[in-house]
Amino acid sequence: MIDMWDEQTIARFQKTLLDWYDQAGRSELPWRLNHDPYRVWVSEIMLQQTQVQTVIPYFERFMMMFPTLNDLASAPEQELLKAWEGLGYYSRVRNMQKAARQVRDDYQGVWPDTMAELENLTGIGPYTAAAIASIAFNEPVPAVDGNAFRVFARLFKIDADIAQPKTRKVFFELGLKIIDQKRPGDFNQAIMDLGSSYMTAKNYDSVHSPVREFNAAFADGTEDFYPVKTKAPKPKPITYFALAIKSPAGYLWEQRPANGLLANFWTMPLYALTDFVNDPDADWTIDEMIVATQKRLASDYGVSAKLTKLSGRPVTHVYTHQKWTVTVLTAEVTEQALQRGTWRTTTNLAGDPQPKIQEKIWQRL
């Protein structure tokens, strides 16, 4: 049960929040230069799971490469993946291109201007739809993201578990009651800024917060308890071998399949330990696994090589549901005809879109 403010308190909160935003809001952010829906959309997708300072150079480069929705809709996928390289969660940019084509083809290039219509576009969920609708089209709908969950939960001491999908409705309905009807986009952006400054998850500074007087959790010292969120399951550990095979023609290099994790990216050959070990009771030594990998290399790629384990710790990388631990195996061979993959010089392969795990492998090498 939420102890809802009266109309006077809501009005005071709106004024306090927006007065602070007008003075301290991050107007220097490149996507806030105007309210163009394309720019708002690109920034909101990039900011998912990614820090603001990381996004800024990516956003500016993306806008240079794909300045309009039509440029994005017609771009080759490899160019898109290269532009997104390093941001991770690559399904985001693939879905962006699908949505761009929807707007171009189904809406004659004119953006839908309501939250409900925007949710019909690929990759646009309730939060992103509300952000675009409020910022670009002034629709008074709350954009409920991690910042809004945290801010609202502390302001009202909301005990609902934000890990439960049904909880979003609780926060959305609350947001509908307190959002400023005349400046909904600024209101949503002010909540975002508040959640990333005075009301962060850790090291928050409620004493100096512009909305301190409205913060029920601060009043009784319970901010650490909000928002309520059950822990997600730990990512599944998976052991891989990466094969850094070098010949006079370059490195053995291949494009991953069009489906699955890291689809269409370029990497060195990657073998999961489960490719060799089907018996959970088998006790394989590292030397035995390297020999098995050599046999797979010869069978799959037509390359005969003696693999050597690179010294030092394995490379690790965490995806949403998986944690990869990658041991790098190296070999230098004569140029051999390939059954699969290609030989690529370091100069040429630099132009191929590569996932973060491959960047880490290069760093280890």
Domain-located, residue 259: yes
- Per-residue pLDDT at 273: 82
End-of-domain residue from the set 175, 199, 225: 225
- Per-residue pLDDT at 336: 86
Does 289 lie in the same domain as 203? Answer: no
In contact, 265 and 358? CB cutoff 8 Å: yes
Distance CA 317, CA 30 (A): 30
Domain-located, residue 115: yes
The neighbouring-strand residues paired with 309 are 329
The neighbouring-strand residues paired with 317 are 324
Q: What is the CATH number of the domain that holds 211?
A: 1.10.340.30
Q: What is the CATH number of the domain that holds 332?
A: 3.90.79.10
Does 178 lie in the same domain as 245? Answer: no
Does 279 lie in the same domain as 146? Answer: no
Residues labelled as active-site residues = 44
Domain-located, residue 230: no
In contact, 221 and 215? CB cutoff 8 Å: no
Does 152 lie in the same domain as 271? Answer: no
Mean pLDDT, each 10-residue run in order, the chain (365 residues): 92 97 87 94 93 93 96 94 88 94 96 97 96 98 95 96 93 97 97 94 93 95 92 88 95 91 92 72 80 91 93 90 94 91 91 92 93
End-of-domain residue from the set 176, 196, 225: 225
Does 186 lie in the same domain as 138? Answer: yes
* Phi then psi dihedrals of residue 132, to 5 deg: -65, -45
Does 189 lie in the same domain as 313? Answer: no
Does 182 lie in the same domain as 55? Answer: yes
Domain-located, residue 231: no
Domain-located, residue 198: yes
Domain-located, residue 1: no
* Phi then psi dihedrals of residue 185, to 5 deg: -65, -45
Does 326 lie in the same domain as 182? Answer: no
Does 210 lie in the same domain as 96? Answer: yes
Residue span of the structural domain in which 295 resides = 236-364
Domain-located, residue 2: no
Does 139 lie in the same domain as 247? Answer: no
Total tally of structural domains belonging to the chain: 2
Does 21 lie in the same domain as 91? Answer: yes
Does 244 lie in the same domain as 188? Answer: no
Domain-located, residue 33: yes
Q: Model pTM?
A: 0.81
End-of-domain residue from the set 225, 259, 286: 225
